[in-house]
Amino acid sequence: MPSPDDHAEPVHELISRRVRTWRKSKGWTLDQLASLSGVSRSMISQIERGVANPTLGVAYKIAQALGVTLGELVQTTTPRPRIDVIRATDVSYLFRDDSQARIRTLSPLHLEKDVEFYEVRLQPGAHLTSAPHFAGTREFLTVQQGQVLLVSDEEQTELAEGDSAHYPADVAHAIENVGSQEALLFLVVIYTRR
C-alpha cells in the first residue's frame, strides 16, 4: 500500500496552483499581480506554470498582494500520517554501526517518549556497557538470535534465542555476546517520569 507521502504534492506545485487560482478568483491579470506584489510578471508566470520555485521573499510579496499569509500560501493540505514508518535503509536511525555492534533505533526520533526501542546486533565477543540511566529506568531485552550474557549491577544471567529479560537500568549494566555467531537483540528502554 503506498504511503501518503507518495502522493504529497511538492510545495512549488502547491504554490503554483494556489497563486494561479487566487489570482484568477480576483479577476487579476499577471500584470496586475506583478504591479501589486512588486514581483516581475515573468517570475509570476514561471511560478504559476511550476517552472520556478519562489524564494521566501518572493512568496511573501505574492502572498501579501493576494491578501493571504505566507503560511496559507505554502501550507500543505496533506495531513501528517498517523503511521510513522522507519525504513530499514534509513541511516539516520543508526545509533551505532562499527565492527563490534550495530544499534538501530526503532522508535521515531521526533517523539518525546517514555519508551525507546532498538534493534541491536552484536558480533561474537562484543559487548555493550552502559552507565546507570535515570532513576527508575528499566530495560526489556529479547534475544532473537544467538546467546548473550546480561549483567545488571551485581546480577548476571545468560540468555539464548527466544529468551527475554526485564532488569534495572538505573545501575551499571552490560550485554555481551558469548556465542559463536552474531546476536540479534531487541531492546526496549523504559523511563519512569518523575
3-class SS of residue 95: strand
Whichever domain contains 39, its CATH number is: 1.10.260.40
What is d(CA 73, CA 18) in angstroms, rounded to the nearest whole number? 7
pLDDT in tens, 90-139: 887 888 889 999 999 888 766 666 888 999 999 999 999 999 998 999 99
CA–CA gap between residue 177 and residue 159 (Å, rounded): 10
Residues 184 and 135 in one domain: yes
| DSSP symbol at 84 | -
pLDDT reported for residue 6: 40
Q: State how far the alpha carbon of 73 is from the alpha carbons of 33, 34, 67, 79, 111, in Å.
A: 15, 17, 10, 16, 28
The CATH number of the domain holding residue 157 is 2.60.120.10
Could you tell me if residue 69 is left (phi over 0), alpha (psi between -120 and 50 degrees) or otherwise beta? Answer: beta
Of 17, 27, 34, nearest to 42 by C-alpha is: 34
Same domain for 66 and 15: yes
Number of other CB atoms surrounding residue 134 within 10 Å: 11
Shared-domain flag, residues 119 and 158: yes
**One domain for residues 96 and 183:** yes
Portion of the chain with pLDDT greater than 90, in percent: 52
Cell of 4: 501518503
Q: Which of 39, 74, 109 is the last residue of a domain?
A: 74
The SS3 call for residue 113 is coil
120's grid cell: 541491536
Among the three residues 15, 45, 74, which one is the final residue of a domain in this structure? 74
Radius of gyration of the chain (CA): 27
Highest-pLDDT range among 10-19, 29-38, 80-89, 164-173: 164-173
**Same structural domain for residues 137 and 62?**
no
86 belongs to a structural domain:
no
Same domain, 26 and 58: yes
Task: Tell which wins on pLDDT, 87 or 102.
Answer: 102
Tens digits of residue pLDDT in 158-183: 999 999 999 999 999 999 999 999 99
Backbone phi, then psi, for 57, in 5-degree steps? -60, -45
Average pLDDT, the chain: 87
Query: In the structure, what pLDDT confidence band is assigned to residue 2 with cuts at 50, 70 and 90?
Result: very low
- The C-alpha angle 111, 117, 122, rounded to 5 degrees, equals 140
The residue range of the domain holding 32 is: 4-74
User: Does 82 reside within a domain?
Assistant: no
Domain count, the chain: 2
Residue 83 in any domain: the answer is: no
Query: Domain end: 74, 99, 125, which one?
Result: 74
C-alpha cell at 194: 518523575
Residue 25: band (very low, low, confident or very high) from pLDDT cuts 50, 70, 90: confident
* Per-residue pLDDT reduced to its tens digit, 56-66: 888 889 988 99
Let me know if residue 79 belongs to a domain. no
Same domain, 68 and 109: no
What is the reported pTM?
0.58
Does 17 score more than 90 pLDDT?
no
Residue 81 within a domain: no
Residue 85 in domain: no
* pLDDT confidence of residue 194: 53
Per the structure block, which three cell numbers stand in for 104? 538501530
CA distance 4 to 8: 6
C-alpha–C-alpha distance, residues 65 and 36, integer Å? 6
